[in-house]
Structure 1
Amino acid sequence: MLDATMRKLIDPALNRLGAGLARTGLTANAITLIGLGMGLACAGLIALQQPLWALLPLALSRLADGLDGAVARATEKTDFGGYLDIFCDFVFYGAVPMGFVWADPTANGMAGAFLLTSFYANGASFLGYAILAEKAQMHSTARGVKSLYFTGGLLEGTETIAFFVALCLWPDLFAPLAWAFGVLCFATASARVVLARKVFPGKG
């Protein structure tokens, strides 16, 4: 819901930083993998019950997630780069809740399983829509220049990162926050399915 607004605010600065990094020879794919490493470090610190320390690699992972696209725009955008970026994003999104479950399986297990299932459903609705949009030759730059078609929704990347930050700040509230966010994820996925039915009509 907030991604389009956030892109307008952060893209100019990211593009300047990305152009500078591109001149050093650092590739977009390398930055993507660095971001994944930071994201997994974040999840590891959460699993070790150090959620406040996890905020640092969390921030660095999301900075890398913005910079890889900026570097690609300054050099060369590739289909594989877009694929790698979305793959690493989804690994990160799953790893953080897993960290909380590993930190306290008894308290967080059920809520974590529900949250991860909601992420799975939301991700499937997002990627499925992107495939159909590509087939229909649809394009959008509302959420920045992307390799995939990004549909809007109640919950997007900005809201998910804010949610992860809240979990790190108040880890004892993981279960109620996870149940609530999971419900909103399912609502987002359902709305995207309804939208897809309208945008890509057919028999049946």
Structure 2
Amino acid sequence: MLDTHARRYVSPVIRIIAKAFLKYNISANQITILAFLIGVLTGPLIYFDFPILACIFLWISGLLDAVDGAVARMKKNITAWGTLMDITFDRIVELAVIIGLAFKYTNIRIELLMLTSAIIFSMTIFLTVGALTEKKGEKSFYYQAGVAERTEGFILLSIMILFNNLIVWSTIIFTILVTITAFQRMIEAKRIFDTIDKNK
């Protein structure tokens, strides 16, 4: 939700950072890899009890994840491989956080497993719709908005990392929001595919 509605407010900052990378001839794919490397460090940082640093790394990774797309669009060089890396690395970063939390707090592994299951459910719909529809957005695939997009995810992951007394409830709330998003996407997908089938 925030990704969709707040993007116009943060886009100017993202473009400024993108231009800085372009000045040094750093490609979108290189930024994607940098975002990934920074992001996966959140797991070990959580486990070894550096929660503030883990959150900083998580948000830097998220910022760079937005910058790589801006660089690709500025250079008019959006590629299928770049999109694949971007989506795959995003999920691995999220898993790094969840795995770090699972090793750190063994008492909430069931809750974290439910969250992971909800993310898989939501992303399966998201990617399938992107593959089957011809609609394209600003990105190189059709982006389905929802209650829980990446920014909401980062906010809730940050709460889970920073406040261990809230970790159970924040994990449950995150799972519910992702599940709602999955059903939102499924309902939208039905509408999109019904329209496509009628036009055949």
Asked if these proteins are the same fold (TM beyond 0.5), I'd say yes
The letter for the 2-side match of 1:36 is: F
Shift in Å, 1:149: 0.9
The 8 Å contact of residues 46 and 101 in structure 2, kept in 1 or not, is answered as: yes
Deviations 1:77-110 (A, max 9, x none): 21211111111111112221111001121x1211
Aligned to 2:121: 121
Aligned to 1:53: 53
Shift in Å, 1:174: 1.5
Deviations 1:44-65 (A, max 9, x none): 1112232222122112111211
Structure 2 matches for 1:74-93, cutoff 5 A? 74-75=74-75, 76-93=77-94
Deviations 1:99-122 (A, max 9, x none): 1001121x1211111111111111
The 8 Å contact of residues 44 and 100 in structure 2, kept in 1 or not, is answered as: yes
The 8 Å contact of residues 135 and 141 in structure 2, kept in 1 or not, is answered as: no
Q: Once structures 1 and 2 are overlaid, which stretch shifts more, 166-175 or 123-132?
A: 166-175
The answer to whether residue 184 in structure 2 is matched with residue 187 in structure 1 is no
The answer to whether residue 144 in structure 2 is matched with residue 147 in structure 1 is no
Gaps of 5+ in 2: none
Deviations 1:153-197 (A, max 9, x none): 111111111111211221232222112211221121122112211
Structure 2 matches for 1:98-109, cutoff 5 A? 98-105=99-106, 107-109=107-109
The CA distance in 1 between the partners of 2:57 and 2:136, in whole Å, is 33
Query: Helix, strand or coil for the counterpart of 1:26?
Result: coil
Runs of 4+ in structure 1 off by over 6 angstroms are none
The letter for the 1-side match of 2:68 is: D
Structure 2 matches for 1:155-170, cutoff 5 A? 155-170=148-163
Aligned to 1:25: 25
Aligned to 1:196: 189
Aligned to 1:96: 97
Aligned to 1:172: 165
Q: Percent identity?
A: 27
Shift in Å, 1:43: 1.6
C-alpha RMSD of the superposition: 1.6
The 8 Å contact of residues 59 and 154 in structure 2, kept in 1 or not, is answered as: no
Gaps of 5+ in 1: none
Q: Once structures 1 and 2 are overlaid, which stretch shifts more, 175-184 or 30-39?
A: 175-184
